[in-house]
Amino acid sequence: MKRMYKPFWSYDVTKTEQWLSQMACSGLTFVGLNRWTRRFSFNETTAESRIYRITYDKLMSPVLPKTLQAEGWETTVTTGKWQVTTNSQPEQTIRNFPTRDGVIKHNQTITYLFYGLLFYLLSVLIAPISLAFSYFFTDEAIVVEKSPYWIVTYLFFALVVGLVALGIYSIVKITKTNKSLRDPLTTETLQPSNEIDKQAERQLKRSGRWVTKVRLGWMYSPDKLENWLESMEQRGFNLYRVNRIGTIFHFMKGQPRRIAYRVDYQRQPPSSYFAIHKEAGWRDCFVSYSNLENWTIWSQEYTGNQQRPQLYSDNPTRIKHARKMVLTYTAFFLPFTLLYLFFLFNSFNRQTELSHWLSWGTFAFILCIGIYGSFLVQLWTYYVRLKKHTKV
């Protein structure tokens, strides 16, 4: 038996599957996986051509669905919620494959943890960094005391740098993998039917018929963005496109229209999410696919004698989606707000002179508290507004 270690195998399951197939072609058949030590076990057998699929499911069944069994799939290894299946038939002849949705959701959860770790480490480092800046811009002399315990400080910073590097690598790698695993049809954003070239766009700008607006932080009050977009349409400013990060909105001066806009948040859209809404007549104007935010701006035109289209026909579903979004962001922003408040009060208690209070560190703490606190206020006021609106 041969054993190999792949510490980041789950970050790119497609690459791991190809590696397992190559091992099978070289006479090493995959027989075991220790998900804690990241160790793969192989038996030496005759070389054969095999394909593998790695899946993740919280409700894993030991028996594969009959549709997969009919295609020749069989389970090789099951460990925890991970399952590795294999098939000896040529890949081009196989019609049904195990689903990737569980792997995508699991990877996204991992990125949430690494984002939290990165922000925590940055919040810990902001205190010594701001203190260093304060001394840099003052005339006070910096005295460094010799101590054998400085090695602990150096080791701590080395650990922090290593964790930051690991977090950045994990986020970048998983983001790339999730993007490749998603069905291309679910990530396709419709292009405008009246698409214009750059030269025509410049002419529209010179004639004043092209309007660009910047909207920052709209995801914390999505209902206000919906009302703003609808009011722009009623004034004759037709939404043409939104930039990739969702902060710049481009409009063309045209005819007033009745357009219903809906901003929807999904932690991980199912494969049928876009197809269902498009069949109902909705058009996706913007789709964000970051690991922390999965937002879609939907639009649908209607006439004066028609009722305003609704993305979700029942109010409990809207409330459920809003609650999920608010709790997700609260769990992210609230700990950092409290942490910076602790740093700020701790700084005030240690400083006795006003000049020390007005330092770069104090300014950084107040700025972070103001930003994160404003996000929390916007989120919960939006949730309260939505609940009041749905009760009317």
- The tens digit of pLDDT for each residue in 216-231 reads 889 899 999 999 999 9
Task: Using pLDDT thresholds of 50, 70 and 90, give the confidence band for residue 359.
Answer: low
State yes or no: pLDDT of 201 exceeds 50. yes
Q: Which range, of 7-16, 209-218, 231-240, 303-312, averages the lowest pLDDT?
A: 303-312
Q: How far, in Å, CA of 50 to CA of 42, rounded?
A: 14
Name the more confident of 349 and 217.
Answer: 217
Do the beta carbons of residue 79 and residue 89 sit within 8 Å?
no
Highest average pLDDT, of 8-22, 110-124, 266-280, 331-345, comes from 8-22
> DSSP readout, 107-126?
HHHHHHHHHHHHHHHHHHHH
- Residue 144's pLDDT is 63
| Phi, then psi, of 146 in degrees rounded to 5 | -75, 135
Q: Give 297's contacts (C-beta < 8 A, 6+ positions apart).
A: 225, 229, 242, 246, 261, 262, 263, 264, 284, 285, 286
Name the more confident of 153 and 80.
Answer: 80
> DSSP readout, 135-178?
HHTS-PPP-----TTHHHHHHHHHHHHHHHHHHHHHHHHHHHHH
State yes or no: pLDDT of 341 exceeds 80. yes
The whole-number average pLDDT for the span 42-50 is 91
Query: How many other C-beta atoms can be found within 10 angstroms of the C-beta atom of residue 183?
Result: 13
The whole-number average pLDDT for the span 161-169 is 89
**What is the 8-class DSSP label of residue 33?**
E
The chain-wide mean pLDDT, for the chain, equals: 83
- Residue 50's pLDDT is 92
The C-alpha R_g of the chain, in whole angstroms, comes to 27
Q: How far, in Å, CA of 352 to CA of 340, rounded?
A: 20
The whole-number average pLDDT for the span 203-216 is 88
Do the beta carbons of residue 260 and residue 227 sit within 8 Å?
no
Query: How many other C-beta atoms can be found within 10 angstroms of the C-beta atom of residue 355?
Result: 8
- Residue 185's pLDDT is 44
Torsional class of 144: left (φ above 0), alpha (ψ -120 to 50), beta (otherwise): beta
- Residue 189's pLDDT is 46
Terminal CA-CA length for the chain: 68
Q: How far, in Å, CA of 213 to CA of 261, rounded?
A: 17
Q: Give 83's contacts (C-beta < 8 A, 6+ positions apart).
A: 54, 55, 56, 57, 60, 75, 77, 98
Structure tokens at 301: 């035109």
Q: Which amino acid is at 178?
A: N
Query: How many other C-beta atoms can be found within 10 angstroms of the C-beta atom of residue 219?
Result: 20
- Residue 297's pLDDT is 94
Q: pTM for the whole thing?
A: 0.66
The whole-number average pLDDT for the span 252-276 is 86
Name the more confident of 77 and 130.
Answer: 77
Q: How far, in Å, CA of 67 to CA of 73, rounded?
A: 9
Q: Give 147's contacts (C-beta < 8 A, 6+ positions apart).
A: none
State yes or no: pLDDT of 294 exceeds 60. yes
Closest CA to 351 of 342, 362, 341: 362
The whole-number average pLDDT for the span 107-131 is 77
Q: How far, in Å, CA of 289 to CA of 111, rounded?
A: 13
- Residue 315's pLDDT is 77
Q: Which amino acid is at 313?
A: S
Do the beta carbons of residue 104 and residue 176 sit within 8 Å?
no
State yes or no: pLDDT of 102 exceeds 90. no
| Phi, then psi, of 299 in degrees rounded to 5 | -140, 150
Q: CA dist 150 to 132, 141, 266, Å?
A: 17, 20, 47
pLDDT in tens, 303-318: 878 888 888 877 787 7
Q: How far, in Å, CA of 382 to CA of 325, rounded?
A: 11
Element at 202 (helix H, strand E): helix 198-207
Q: Which amino acid is at 372?
A: Y
Q: CA dist 207 to 192, 243, 303, Å?
A: 21, 22, 29
**What is the 8-class DSSP label of residue 181?**
H
Torsional class of 277: left (φ above 0), alpha (ψ -120 to 50), beta (otherwise): alpha
- Residue 353's pLDDT is 59
Q: Which amino acid is at 185?
A: L
